[in-house]
Amino acid sequence: MRNFDEATITDAVLQRVRAAKDDRIRQVSEALVRHMHAFVREIEPTQTEWEAGIDFLTRTGQMCDDKRHEFILLSDTLGVSMLVDAINHRTPEGATETTVLGPFYVQRAPEHPLGADISGTMEGAPLLVTGTVSAAGGKPLAGAVVDVWHSDNDGYYDVQQLDEIGDLAMRARFRTDENGRFWFWSIKPAAYPIPHDGPVGKMLEAQGRHPWRPAHVHFMIAAPGHQTLVTHVFAAGDPYLDSDVVFGVKDSLIREFAGMPAGTAVVGREMAQPYYHLNYDFGLKANSEARRTGERAA
Ligand code: BEZ
Ligand code: FE
């Protein structure tokens, strides 16, 4: 077959990718060709615009390494990450809603005892975080691993300033006690712009969008027999709740970072200065649900 033109090229490519032996690869390849050809037909790019598109993707790829994930940012800012998340977490009653992982998660963060202060050398308003982990609509889960990470009060994560601060901070893993409870101290995080000094930042600017996320604390919670939960809790009242650049905010994930006076905190620590208190009770889906929906189990 040869002499393809505007009218025949799409079917010709579809016919060729149908040779794929693997069913899923065939399905994905066909959909990719159909949608990309439809996109090009709708846009009708000039040759220069097509080259600019290739250059944008090339620069996005060139900005990916073990510290910077520009392609994940692209997926996040176009709402693709949240769409994938929504498809994979059709949440049953009682389970905590999910949201994007983001690029600042670090595997195997240091484990700390309950009640530890994980702020390291960072300065900021003290924040007490408390909560429980239970099976969705059911019993508390003892020994669940609660992985947490958040930004400082200028909106930067530890991994963005490791050269200056020298060590990980504002991130840790805890294990829930026999009643499924956890608690720790840190500093209050601030709203922050996602890294926008690369191609994704330029795209946001061209689209007339800001790069900000509302203040939040990330959680990844794992317990045997349950699906690992990836979510965050957002600060009530934050000005960016309705315009999060990665579309990650859900009402059920918003909580008050409540201002508390100096004195004895609920976990017994004597506080000489006022502090903030955030509480969230998490519900995890059972694995049987994971098998039905094709999700990854803990
Ligand atoms: C974050 O919350 O850490 C994040 C999520 C998506 C893109 C950039 C940052
Ligand atoms: Fe974040």
Q: Which residue carries 């690029």 as its tokens?
A: 103
Q: Residue 269 sits in a domain of what CATH number?
A: 2.60.130.10
Angle, CA of 89, 249 and 219, to the nearest 5°: 65
Q: Which helix (H) or strand (E) holds 181?
A: strand 181-187
- Which residue did the predictor score with more confidence, 1 or 13? 13
- Which atom of ligand 1 sits closest to the CA of residue 149? 3
Mutate to test the pocket of ligand 1, among 72, 149, 150, 213 (most ligand atoms within 8 A of CB): 213
Encode pLDDT of 115-156 as tens digits. 999 999 999 999 999 999 999 988 999 999 999 999 999 999
Asked if residue 39 and residue 97 are part of one domain, the reply reads: no
**CA of 159: how far to CAs of 67, 169, 244, 247, in Å?**
8, 9, 22, 23
Identify whether 69 is part of a domain.
no
Q: Going by C-beta distance under 8 Å and a sequence separation of 6 or more, which residues neighbour residue 19? A: none
As a whole number of angstroms, the distance between CA 186 and CA 293 comes to 36
Q: Given pLDDT bands bounded at 50, 70 and 90, which one contains residue 97?
A: very high
Query: Is there a contact between 131 and 253 (Cβ–Cβ < 8 Å)?
Result: no
- Work out the pLDDT band at 166, boundaries 50, 70, 90: confident
**Secondary element (H or E) of residue 38:** helix 23-43
In a domain, 187, yes or no: yes
160 C-alpha to ligand 1 centroid (Å)? 12
* pLDDT value of position 297: 52
Q: Which domain holds residue 271?
A: 93-194+209-292
Q: How far, in Å, CA of 74 to CA of 198, rounded? A: 10
The domain tally of the chain equals: 2
| Distance from the alpha carbon of residue 30 to the mean position of ligand 1, in angstroms | 31
If asked whether residues 14 and 140 sit together in one domain, one would say: no
Tell me what the mean pLDDT of segment 207-212 comes to: 98
pLDDT per residue as tens digits for the range 5-62? 999 999 999 999 999 999 999 999 999 999 999 999 999 999 999 999 999 999 999 9
Both 159 and 278 in a single domain? yes
What rounded mean pLDDT belongs to the chain? 94
Are the beta carbons of 233 and 255 closer than 8 angstroms? yes
pTM for the structure as a whole: 0.92
Is 70 among the domain residues? no
Hey, what amino acid is at 110? P
Write down the pLDDT at residue 291. 47
Is the pLDDT assigned to residue 290 strictly greater than 90?
Answer: no
